[in-house]
Structure 1
Amino acid sequence: MPINLDDIIAIDIHTHAEEPCCTHRDDGYNDFQAAMARYFKNPAGGEGMLPTVPQTAAYFRERRIAAVIFPVDAERETGFRRYSNEEVAQHCAENDDILIPFASIDPAKGRAGAREARRLVRDFGVKGFKFHPTMQGFFPNDRAIYPVLEAIADEGAITLFHTGQTGVGSGMRGGMGMRLKYSNPMHLDDVAVDFPDMPIILAHPSFPWQEEALAVAQHKPNVYIDLSGWSPKYFPEILVRYANTLLKNKMLFGSDWPAITPDRWMADFAKAPFRDEVRDLILKENARKLLKL
């Protein structure tokens, strides 16, 4: 059944399908998840199993929160095999009262990635694509990766790009090979110019480039910001000020589940200095319009 917009209280634009598909974890994956758990002060991960997509659906259904969910295709840079986009989409179809399918494709896959993107939108109902420039090792404005973006834009889908520092590899030797330079949100200003009709979401408060993210979102009509990955009590003052004023229609609730739970995020959001008139925009209405629900 479709999502009952009158019943849900929020739309979480940023949740992860973390477990590898239909198999055991890859070598090194436990160490990676244990480091993520330490970074986010979250007991999930490590040697334990993270929630499956059906378990995620049950958790969000109980809380009356719809959720966009996606894997991350970072096989080339990390060596960890990706969670199948098709499997995630199928789980979403079975839980379409609460889950909204996004996918992930390493943009270095070029024309093969472009074909996959078109097929996922047309045959599996995927509404958007998650990119993690640091984890996938690319600059978003590198024209070599544009074939995948062109396919997404042609299909009318949404793009969601990680921006700013990341918990991935934080504290690990050499940062697990992750290079922060790829995730400066200013690189996405070029993408917004070159794909002016493709919605682009800048994921997370973009430390240490918060003002760059706000500038791009204010200047380009097709750019939005999701507030995932941080507790709202740690949001920089300038981000809250823009969310309350100039960008009140472009800010989106995201938790970063399972690293941060929506319970924690929303409890801290209730105490943060957001204006009453923008709270529902952030929690639900902006995402409803963007996702065309």
Structure 2
Amino acid sequence: MSIDLDEIVAIDVHTHAEVSSRGGASLTDELHKASSAYFKVDGTKRKPTLEELAAYYRERRMAAVVFTVDAEHATGVPPVPNEEVAEAAAANPDVLIPFASIDPFRGKAGIRRARRLVEEYGVKGFKFHPSIQAFFPNDRLAYGLYEAIEELGCIALFHTGQTGIGAGVPGGGGIRLKYSNPMHVDDVAADFPQMKIILAHPSFPWQDEALSVATHKPAVHIDLSGWSPKYFPPQLVRYANTLLKDKVLFGSDYPVISPDRWLADFAALPLKDEVRPKILKDNAARLLGLCEDS
């Protein structure tokens, strides 16, 4: 990885690879259309290739963590290949940081795949989406995978709170919100104390739970993706400005929310001047091992 921290202005820790170079998408057409409507984005413009994503962030002098979501057991849809994401990051090491996603239902095969992705492809972390993958994070089914992630020194990033995926579809497309209560991740943080964890998104309707877990467990962080900052709950802003100023991370959820829109609204938040650079770059640089004091 060759990210020059002096040359970039921010690190976006939450972006999605939504389409493979071979044309495959990680969501069904129904879920893609519904989530585009939920986020009020043009679905036809929402599928940048990985090379386009790299160029987009390079133009903005930003780095980006990028990943797919492997929920094939629950959805029947194969993800954008993790290897493809990692290869794109290797080809664009100045701007892309590769995470992977392994469906916990893959069992021992998934654990072997996770190890190979780290050891052979340089993957730095793993994305879990409990609501789409249909599992509770503290289900022992996933513990072998966490053991490998902790041993390898990687990051586990968990979607928390409501999801735009399935919103507006009858029955929510069968996607259940209960899986993404951050309190289930509290068990994981207790059982794997050396594993670095990110709770993704303002965790509506469990924001206080997320703040509690992040203040109580040293290895737990929060990313601010998936919402425009102007809609952040006031307690999230207060904690980001004080107790969690070293543990809160900029994330956009691109391509459903652009970093341009996110940053414009972030500028209006009542944050201390010394806190802003921590959230935009410094905290992520340390967590990702990009700086000497990581």
Q: TM-score normalized by structure 1?
A: 0.96
Residue number in structure 2 paired with 1:15? 15
Aligned to 1:270: 267
Displacement of 1:220: 0.3
- 2:41 paired residue number: 42
Residues in 2 aligned to 1:189 and 1:25: alpha-carbon distance in whole angstroms: 32
Unmatched 5+ residue regions in structure 1? Answer: none
Q: Which moved more, 1:243-252 or 1:28-37?
A: 28-37
Shift of 1:25: 4.8
Say which of 22, 43, 51 aligns to 1:54.
51
Percent identity over paired residues: 64
Q: Give yes or no for contact 1:20–1:81 (8 Å, CA) kept in 2.
A: no
**1:153-164 correspondence to structure 2 within 5 Å:** 153-164=150-161
Per-residue displacement from partner, 1:112-171 (whole Å, max 9, x unpaired)? Answer: 111111110000000000000000000000112111111111111000000000000000
Which residue does 2:32 correspond to in 1? 33
Query: Which residue is equivalent to 1:184?
Result: 181
Moved over 6 A (4+): none
Letter in 1 for 2:155: I
| d(CA) in 2 for partners of 1:144, 1:21 | 31
Which residue is 1:67 aligned to? 64
Report if aligned partners of 1:186, 1:213 keep a CA contact under 8 Å in 2.
yes
1:65-112 deviation per Cα after TM superposition (whole angstroms, max 9, x unaligned): 100000000111122211100111001000001000000000111111
- Please state if 1:223 is matched with 2:220: yes
In 1: Cα distance, 2:34 partner to 2:49 partner = 20
* Residue 205 (1) aligns with residue 179 (2): no
The 5 Å alignment of 1:245-284 reads 245-284=242-281
Offset, 1:29 = 2.1
Q: 1:17, CA displacement in angstroms?
A: 0.1
CA distance in 1, matches of 2:118, 2:91: 17
User: 1 CA distance for matches of 2:230 and 2:46?
Assistant: 28
SS at match of 1:271: coil
After TM superposition, give the deviation of residue 23 of structure 1 in Å.
3.5
Q: Deviations over 1:208-243 (max 9, x none)?
A: 000000000000000000000000000000000000
Conserved 8 A contact 1:19-1:49: no
Other structure's SS at 1:277 match: coil
Aligned equivalent of 1:235, options 210, 232, 238: 232
Q: Distance in 2 between matches of 1:29 and 1:50?
A: 13
Q: Secondary structure at the match of 1:13?
A: strand
Q: Deviations over 1:21-72 (max 9, x none)?
A: 513558x7222211111101111x2x55610110000000000010000000
| Alpha-carbon distance, 1:8 to partner | 0.1
- Please, what TM-score do these two structures have when normalized by structure 2? 0.96
- Worse-superposed segment, 12-21 or 114-123: 12-21
Distance 1:14 1:49 in 2: 15
Amino acid at match of 1:141: N
| Contact residue 21 and residue 84 of structure 1 kept, 8 A | no
CA root-mean-square deviation: 1.3
* Aligned counterparts of 1:180 and 1:9: Cα–Cα separation in 2: 34
- 1:9 maps to a residue whose letter is V
Structure 2 residue ranges without an equivalent (≥5): none
SS of the residue corresponding to residue 267 of structure 1 reads helix
Secondary structure in structure 1 of the residue aligned to 2:80: coil
Matching residue within 117, 121, 126 for 1:124: 121
Please name the residue that 1:3 is paired with: 3
Partners of 1:56 and 1:112 in 2: how far apart? 30
